[in-house]
Structure 1
């Protein structure tokens, strides 16, 4: 860039600017200084142009220091990230990632083994339950059920009492005596 030379007016003071700065950039800087000086002149009692220029320069210098500190911190963080990235990209990083992946694989294999064991146990329980159900069904079909006797009398015919069997013409008293005689014998 070519060296340039031009004049600027900041709060009534003419300043000649020369160097490798373009006019638009120099005017933007001069405007920032002008705004700061006007703030000081409007807020400080009895401030002169010289004092306003000094105070504005100090305020701008403070802003520059904070910006430089933030920039340095950002550079340090960027360098730390670069170092970490290099670690992951290098052999050490690959070993660390491989070790982490192997640990995750071991955990997943253990979970799979436990799930398979649970499934196998559930399958055995299901087989036992099926066998028990089949056994119960077979037993129920083979053995008569212990149910109360069913009254097979015709409700349309008159009720003759507890007469049973072919011999129903005996009186009840005779049946009881016959039963006692059979027991005594």
Structure 2
């Protein structure tokens, strides 16, 4: 090769260094790739994935029932969340009785006695006020305990997690409560 000769320039119609294949050629190449892997193996792969997902979900359900940390969902994992769960489960909260109270108040509101409507409205306000006060107190106390026990941990969202747990009746909470009422975590 002589240094004086200019190198061959690329075709401006083919900026990739090769011409773009025709549509029919590209489709035939895709079909040949698709046919090279058998359809049974694809079906087997999707069936295996489905079975693996079912096994993971079953493991997660068992973990929620038993409290096994390894298989809990990400929102429930970690010592900080465990402490928040135990903190909530060891106490009584008005919010956990909200659903039964709401049913009772709803039934009472259907009674057409004149004074009864006023009392039912006052009962609604009292229940809501107690839940708000109870939640604020829980938030303050839990934050204090978390800062004392876990000074270097990320505490973002833990109080909201605990407040949502108080809204569930104790028997329906998942992961299941690990401490009894009155026990301290």
TM-score, scaled to structure 2: 0.21
Q: Based on CA coordinates, which of the two structures has the bigger radius of gyration?
A: 1
TM-score, scaled to structure 1: 0.21
Structure with greater strand share of residues: 1
Name the structure, 1 or 2, with higher relative contact order (CA <8 Å, separation 6+).
Answer: 2
